[in-house]
Amino acid sequence: MGLSRDSVGIKSVDCGLEIKKRREDDKVIALAGNPNVGKSTVFNEMTGMNQHTGNWPGKTVANAQGYASDGEQGYVMVDIPGCYSLMAHSTEEEVARDFICFENPDAVIVVCDATCLERNLNLVLQILEANRRAVVCVNLMDEAKKKSITIRFDILEERLGVPVIGTAARSGKGLEQIYEGLNRVLELKREMVEAEEVEAEEATEAKEATEAEEAVEAEKSVDRRFAENPAPRILIRYPEYIEAAIARLTPAVKKTAGEGVNIRWLCARLLDSNENLMEAVRKYLTPVAESEEVSSLLMEIREEWQERGISQKQVSDDMASVFIRKAEFLCRGAVVFENQTYDKKDRLLDRLFTSKATGFPIMFLILLGVFWLTITGANYPSELLSSGLFWLEDRISDLFLTAGMPVVLNDLLVHGVYRVLAWVISVMLPPMAIFFPLFTLLEDFGYLPRVAFNLDRCFKRCAACGKQALTMCMGFGCNAAGIIGCRIIDSPRERLIAMITNNFVPCNGRFPTMIAIITMFFVGSAAGAFSSVLSAAILAGVIVLGVLMTLLISKILSATVLKGVPSSFTLELPPYRKPQIGKVIVRSIFDRTLFVLGRAIAVAAPAGLIIWLMANISVGDATLLAHCSGFLDPFARVIGMDGVILLAFILGFPANA
């Protein structure tokens, strides 16, 4: 979870995103990091919340904040979307950049993956360039230890100039030290604010001094204050021609930007000429955007570069390469790989799971296995639940009648509302209680990103976005989540294709009905283990058919009404990890199974009430239910159904909503 684009607007800390402080002196802390580094786990452990963590990019899409405290100081933790850069080439990057750079949080915690620190440091450096009030949290130290990776935190702290903390968030190790790091950077902030206030006072005194000696003495006092509280060292040095341009641009930008934004960072980004950034500048820093002096300087600088044969692309490339080289330098001597073959197992598994020859067959077999376990495992608990709940129905009815409840009211509540709820619980609960943990285990193991990788090629051939593979995987759990997840697709054309076609993949909520239909009409009287295997095979075939229909319709839409060139995206393949079976089961049952079941019950209860009333209230010689089905029958015949079936579909619409 994290901030959505819609939740971040002008001064979102004050209005768009409501920061819920418990005390006036609570500090707002942004939690940033690449996808799959355990950022949400750090958030959960520090705030005590039970926020679901996804194992593939794009899972973090909504607003999330929690409260943490070290006993003295309170912190409002704001979980921003996982992103790889602040250069703003995606919605997630825009949101992260705007919150860190323009919303002025008190500090930033940047979470990194200890197993691939060099790649993560690219984001760390970009954040530190914009906001030096940061703590670097090197997470997954337990995984690094398994792979014989040693990290020298003292060297990293010296080179970065900010606290660097090693953690293993899943076990809670090292998290207390994060509070120590926050105290250090917040204390530095207080010292810098005090220094700036003193400098302003002394500068005013110097300006007002009429005697030359007094003016000189005041200037010397300011210089001493700077020496005692030096400005943070420049971490990122650009090529000489860019540094010269930044120096020319700084006075004009500083004059109009005001407080709360890093001037050097802003100048560099203006020179980078990113349109997304200019949109944010117009939103947050209107005086800078409207400044004729800034605009004319930028135009002059670009004209001079053009005369020297320096293109805008070269400027952007030179800026990006600085961060890469700096990250490489930071890791020299600080990160030691004692075992150079630590990822041998991962590479072997990837060759098996992502190969063109074996990738898709393995996907189908795993899908078949999951559905076989779901069908086989759900039969007996479903039967027991059904027997128990309907046995309880008679007992409840007898109890109500004994208590003197009117027969009509008893029939309405027990045979109407309760009976529908009993059917819903007995049919939906067992399959969900099996499917969701199995699906979450695959997610925790790291296999689902490989599924998305395999399907990416298929979507590219259909002129759709490969990110749709991620949203389609989400749709296995819930189609609503799959549709909402389409916000990670930047192209409006490809986003619309994904939203239209994702519904072809059946979600878990449809599985009980599909299993019942398969059992009644296709498996029939088949006995023994063969029956469950056949049911699972048919269900897996239906899922594959849904995927094929998704690809086919995407291809048709891309070739007709929604023509366009498919965009590319970067898909991270996280390392394989041993699933935490206990946590997975608990998390999937409470966060997914019971949540979905609760929504189903909320729909089923009033639906049972309406159905009973329609079935028992007569108009003329027929019930309301008969009248409605009779009215719908001619329309239903046109599409090969009858009025009763069509009415059932209509009554089922609220469940899909």
Which residue(s) pair with 109 in the sheet? Answer: 31, 135
Residue 177 and residue 165 in contact, taking contact as beta carbons nearer than 8 Å: yes
Confidence at residue 243, expressed as pLDDT on a 0 to 100 scale: 93
Largest CA distance in the chain: 109
What is the tens place of the pLDDT at every residue in 469-491?
777 776 776 676 677 667 667 67
Q: Residues 103-129: pLDDT tens digits?
A: 889 999 999 999 889 989 999 999 999
The two structure tokens encoding residue 598: 């609760």
- For residue 198, pLDDT over 70 is answered with no
- pLDDT at position 10: 34
Q: Return the SS3 of 652.
A: coil
- Are 15 and 36 in contact by the 8 Å Cβ rule? The answer is no
Q: How confident is the model at residue 654 (pLDDT cuts 50, 70, 90)?
A: low
Helix (H) or strand (E) holding 523, with range, is: none
CA dihedral 444, 450, 451, 457 (to 10 degrees): 160
Pairing relation of β-strands 74-79 and 618-619?
unpaired
Q: Is residue 430 very low, low, confident or very high in pLDDT (cuts 50, 70, 90)?
A: confident
- pLDDT tens-digit map of 45-78: 898 865 443 332 333 344 578 889 888 899 999 8
DSSP string covering 100-165, please?
HHHS--SEEEEEEEGGGHHHHHHHHHHHHHH---EEEEEE-HHHHHHTTEEE-HHHHHHHHSS-EE
**What's the chain's average pLDDT?**
79
Q: Inform me whether the pLDDT recorded for 192 exceeds 70.
A: no
3-class state of residue 336 by DSSP? strand
Asked if residue 214 has pLDDT above 80, the reply is no
pLDDT of res. 590? 75
* Eight-class DSSP state of 366: H
- If pLDDT is split at 50, 70 and 90, which confidence band does 19 have? confident
pTM: 0.62
Contacts of 355 (CB under 8 A, 6+ apart): none
The tokens describing 269, both together, are 């980004």
Q: How far apart are CA 657 and CA 646, in angstroms?
A: 17
Mean pLDDT of the 74-97 span = 80
CA–CA separation, 323 and 237 (whole Å): 9
- Going from the C-alpha of 2 to that of each of 77, 271, 483, the distances in angstroms are 11, 29, 17
- Residue 92: exposed, middle, or buried by beta-carbon count in 10 A (0-12, 13-18, 19+)? buried
Mean pLDDT, range 240-267, rounded to an integer: 89
Integer Rg of the chain from CA? 30
The SS3 call for residue 192 is helix
> By the 8 A CB rule, do 117 and 151 touch?
yes
Q: State the Cα angle at 183 between 179 and 188, rounded to 5°.
A: 150
Q: Please state, as a whole number, how many other Cβ atoms lie within 10 Å of the Cβ of residue 193.
A: 10
Confidence of residue 178 (pLDDT cuts 50, 70, 90): very high
For residue 228, give Cα distances in angstroms to 66, 131, 161, 181, 202. Answer: 37, 21, 17, 22, 15
Written as six digits, the tokens of 642 are: 């009858």
DSSP codes joined into one string, 88-114 = -SSHHHHHHHHHHHHS--SEEEEEEEG
Q: What size, in residues, is the chain?
A: 657
Amino acid 339: pLDDT: 74
Task: Quote the CA–CA distance of 590 and 429 in Å, as a whole number.
Answer: 12
CB 15 within 8 A of CB 61: no
Q: Is the pLDDT of residue 224 over 50?
A: no
- Of 66, 92, 65, 97, nearest to 81 by C-alpha is 92
pLDDT computed for residue 54 by the predictor: 37
- Band of residue 247 on the pLDDT scale cut at 50, 70, 90: very high
Q: How far apart are CA 289 and CA 278, in angstroms?
A: 7
What pLDDT band is residue 3 in, cutting at 50, 70 and 90?
very low
Rounded to 5 degrees, φ, ψ at 556 are: -65, -45
DSSP for 589-654, please give it.
IIIIIHHHHHHHHHHHHHHHHHHHHHHH-EETTEEHHHHHHHHHHHHHHHTT--HHHHHHHHHTHH
Which residue from 88, 66, 147 is spatially nearest to 113, judged by alpha carbons?
Answer: 147
Q: What angle do CA 543, 548, 549 make, to 5 degrees?
A: 95
Cα separations in angstroms, 392 against 63, 315, 418, 419, 422: 42, 74, 10, 10, 10
Q: Find all residues with CB under 8 Å of 340, minimum gap 6, and list them.
A: none
- Is residue 34 within 8 Å of 113, Cβ to Cβ? yes
pLDDT at 222: 37
Q: How far apart are CA 459 and CA 452, in angstroms?
A: 10
DSSP labels for 403-425?
TT--HHHHIIIIIIIIHHHHHHH
Whether 621 shows a pLDDT value over 60: the answer reads yes
pLDDT digits (tens, 9 = 90+) for 335-354: 988 777 767 888 888 889 98
As a whole number of angstroms, the distance between CA 304 and CA 317 comes to 18
Are the CB atoms for 271 and 314 separated by under 8 Å? no
**152 three-class SS:** coil
Residue from 454, 485, 481 nearest 468 by CA: 485
How many other C-beta atoms can be found within 10 angstroms of the C-beta atom of residue 411?
Answer: 16
Nearest C-alpha neighbor of 85 from the set 115, 57, 46:
57
The residues facing 165 across adjacent strands are 137
* Predicted local confidence at residue 108, as pLDDT: 94
Q: Which of helix, strand or coil describes residue 32?
A: strand
HEC readout, 463-515: CCCCCHHHHHHHHHHCHHHHHHHHHHCCCHHHHHHHHHHHHHCCCHHHHHHHH
Q: Give 591's strand partners.
A: none
Residue showing tokens 């850069």: 85
Which stretches of 53-94 are assigned E, i.e. beta strand?
65-69, 74-79
Are residues 160 and 136 in contact, defined by beta-carbon separation less than 8 angstroms?
Answer: yes
Q: Are 512 and 433 in contact (CB under 8 A)?
A: no
DSSP tag of 639? T
> Does residue 281 surpass a pLDDT of 50?
yes
Say whether pLDDT at 33 is over 50: yes
Determine the Cα angle at 327 with ends 325 and 333, to 5°: 105
588, burial (CB in 10 Å: exposed 0-12, middle 13-18, buried 19+): buried
| Residue 98 tokens, joined | 């705007």
